[in-house]
Amino acid sequence: MKVTKAQAQANRAHIVDTASTLFRERGYDGVGVADLMAAAGFTHGGFYKHFGSKTDLMAEAASCGLAKSVDAAADMDLASFMSYYLSRQHRDAPGQGCTLSALCTDAARQPDAVKAAFAAGIEAQLGVSRIPEGQAEGSMPEQARARRIALMAQAVGAMVLSRSCPDDSLLADEILEVCRADVLAQLSGLPDS
């Protein structure tokens, strides 16, 4: 039975969504094409009907995961988002969490297509971070952007450091607590943030 164009598109979207979750859980090198296709409910042989290479899928899955993070951030004020982001709940669910904190270190060693997906996702995240231009250490747009970049880097870095510690480590929790308190203090110091 021939698969319709609409079904083929739905199958591809399902594979991308599955890959996005698995890559965040296991890293790019921790997921093979056969495992990924089996998790999505398809045979290994069907992979190349949808993607030219694993790198193509990695870039598309990164874009998918990053778009979900942007959507989640857009629905919350920045303080609430950072409180959740720098929590044990987020730390312990990398497959459901932020693509940046789960895969940035992997992406740094990937081809330019994957890096380009990350750069686009970072730009999109910066666009929804809700520090209005006139409220960050001066009124210049570049100062507000610099503040958003610094906050994002601190949050992602804190999550990466916390995840690198054993699950029951006091240090893992301390990293999140210290950085969450610092970020929230920075945000409370901004007028009307």
- Tell whether 105 is covered by a domain: yes
Q: What is the pLDDT along the chain (193 residues), one digit of tens a residue?
A: 677 899 989 999 999 999 999 999 999 999 999 999 999 999 998 899 999 999 999 999 999 999 998 998 888 888 999 999 999 999 999 999 999 999 999 999 999 999 999 999 999 999 887 664 445 445 578 888 899 999 999 999 999 999 999 989 999 999 999 999 999 999 887 654 4
- Tell whether 175 is covered by a domain: yes
What is the number of structural domains in the chain?
1
* Owning domain of residue 24: 5-188
pTM for this structure? 0.88
pLDDT at 72 (0 to 100): 86
- Tell whether 120 is covered by a domain: yes
- Tell whether 121 is covered by a domain: yes
For residue 71, which of 124, 141, 148 has the smallest C-alpha distance? 124
- Tell whether 162 is covered by a domain: yes
CA dist 156 and 175 (Å) reads 12
Give the CATH number of the domain where residue 91 resides: 1.10.357.10
- Tell whether 17 is covered by a domain: yes
- Tell whether 113 is covered by a domain: yes
pLDDT at 192 (0 to 100): 45
For residue 120, which of 58, 63, 61 has the smallest C-alpha distance? 63
- Tell whether 193 is covered by a domain: no
The helix or strand, by DSSP H or E, that contains position 105, with its residue range, turns out to be helix 99-107
